[in-house]
Amino acid sequence: MSIEKNNHSLLAVNDEGDEIGNDHVSSTAETPMRADAFEKSTEEKIEIIRQNFENIMETLGLDLTDDSLKGTPLRVAKMFVKETFGGLNPDIAPKASVFDNKYQYGEMLVEKNIVVYSTCEHHFLPIVGRAHVAYISKGTVIGLSKMNRIVDYFAKRPQVQERLTKQIVQSLQKALGTDDVACVIDAKHLCVNSRGIRDIDSSTVTADFGGKFQNENTKREFLEYISMKTTFEA
């Protein structure tokens, strides 16, 4: 009887975990990290992931002696640690240098159509879309490219889109010393587009409005800016 109960309990936990993953629920605004997350070196992490991915490929029945496949475990390991999930490394966090607002520019500044490449933490499939970020200066401004780098840094983690949106806003609020920051992200999730329901047309929109952006008029102005068509001819 105890074994049967344990099996049922395990099944219930697995079902619950799968449902949470399918519903894209996030339990915290912080990326869930273990206390020992940074004890291993980059090289150690790459080697461990290489071995584990090799086991995955072998379990799937792939022939790792084939010229096309034999280098794949190492390539994937390097990609995970240095690229796809590089945003887990605080050593490469962008330096959010700010400057005095000497122009006395008091309107909102909007950086739109920032490319987002992230990874769904529930199925480890890509999230691809655009972020639109804005702030109203409270005496300081930040370099435009830094806003792109902040988006890219937090995107390079296993993510849920709601958390990513909040992390971008919170990072800019801290750097600029103001609550007046907003972010909207519109992205496609390949865990929806390429598996399960396989709806290739749907996208997910999330938003976080801080400070003055919670005012309906300010919010509307921001949304009108990001809906404007941007044209550029070289």
Residues facing residue 185 across a β-bridge? 131, 206
- The residues carrying an active-site annotation are 120-123, 161, 189, 191
Write the DSSP assignment of 63-105 as a string of letters: -TTSTTTTTHHHHHHHIIIIIITGGG-GGG-----EEE-TT--
Contact 205, 184 (CB under 8 A): yes
The DSSP symbol for 17 reads H
What burial letters (b/e) apply to 35-44, b meaning 16+ CB within 10 Å?
eeeeeeeeee
- Give the separation between CA 26 and CA 167, rounded to whole angstroms: 13
- Give the separation between CA 212 and CA 179, rounded to whole angstroms: 8
Residues facing residue 159 across a β-bridge? 120
Q: Are strands 181-189 and 204-209 parallel, antiparallel or unpaired?
A: antiparallel
Terminal-to-terminal C-alpha distance of the chain: 74
